[in-house]
Amino acid sequence: MISVSQLVSQVKSGNYLGLARALTLVENDLEGSADLLKEIRTSDTPVIGITGPPGAGKSTLVNAMINHLSSEGKSVAVLAIDPTSPFNLGSLLGDRVRMAEQFNKPNVYIRSLATRGSLGGLSGKTIEMTDVLKSAGFDYILIETVGVGQSEVEIAGLADISVVVLVPESGDEIQSMKSGLMEIADIFVVNKSDRDGADAFANNLKKLVHQRTEIIPVINTIADKSAGIDELMQAIEDQPIKDNTRRVFLLAEKAWKLIQHEKMKNINRMKLQEEIRTASVDPEFNLYRFVDRILSSTKNS
């Protein structure tokens, strides 16, 4: 049995087997997980979030970015949280074959992760898994996630740079997205730019983002032809370093979630349902008194 310290060293030295083991430990909250997280030293590896609606071609874009980075001799880790991602083997054979080649590149590490909970969003352990990757000395970390519900905001809390991927047909989506994706984007990608209406869409997007104080680049790509990837990587390079205020805010949000998770660990949702099923038969049942009882019984645990 390997010790936590040994595992931490393996991860740090770039041992992929050790990294895979550490990620599994953390993902499933197995024994040693908490100790491992307290021992790792996270680096400044930039974490790039790739998010956007289903069908925008995020995985193809990630694939093209991996190829670009590999050809420059850079190492890259990918965390694919999109349940529809081909990295999650949920796609056509053709995609899978194309993705499979990445697994053999020595400087590319890909980990796919099914979301928990039916509503998309990040898996419960995404923050922790990203921190493990950040201790492994990669040049870049890419996190692919589908933009549904609150996940785009969660990804912004995790990523140093958020790339929002849209397609020329996304026009009508922008309105409803405004409060979510629009706010978190550091870079917009209009993928599948060989389709009709791509220029008009990109121009509209540019006008919209022009209303914000910072300048948000809008990059046209055709990911399956690797077109526009140079420009995208350049835009990523050109991103200003986030100021300390934002870094502190994101760390505080992470801490908040870790604390919440720890404080709720003795509350079992299924058991809660069972207890309510029994108790609520009483016509005098009152939820607030019920909650009080649960709180008293878990106070010192």
Residues that bind a second copy (CB under 8 A): 34, 37-38, 40-42, 53-54, 118-120, 131, 148-150, 153, 169, 171-173, 175-176, 179-180, 244, 247-249, 251-252, 254-256, 258-260, 262-264, 267, 269, 272-273, 276-277, 280, 284, 286-292, 294-295, 300
Residue 103 or 249: which CB sits closer to a second copy? 249
Going from the C-alpha of 151 to that of each of 57, 143, 290, the distances in angstroms are: 17, 12, 32
The gap from C-alpha 139 to its chain's centroid, in whole angstroms, comes to: 17
Q: In whole angstroms, how close is the CB of 214 to a second copy at the nearest point?
A: 17
Residue 13 or 260: which CB sits closer to a second copy? 260
Residue 241 or 295: which CB sits closer to a second copy? 295
Q: In whole angstroms, how close is the CB of 128 to a second copy at the nearest point?
A: 8
Residues 6+ apart with CB under 8 A from 299: none
Nearest-10 crossing angle of helices 58-71, 229-238:
80
Q: In whole angstroms, how close is the CB of 278 to a second copy at the nearest point?
A: 9
Strands lying side by side in the sheet with 76-80: 108-112, 76-80, 140-146, 47-52, 161-166, 187-190, 218-220
SS3 28: coil
Q: In whole angstroms, how close is the CB of 262 to a second copy at the nearest point?
A: 6
By residue count, the chain amounts to 301
Residue 63 or 88: which CB sits closer to a second copy? 88
Residue 227 or 279: which CB sits closer to a second copy? 279
Q: In whole angstroms, how close is the CB of 46 to a second copy at the nearest point?
A: 18
The whole-angstrom separation of Cα 237 and Cα 208 is: 23
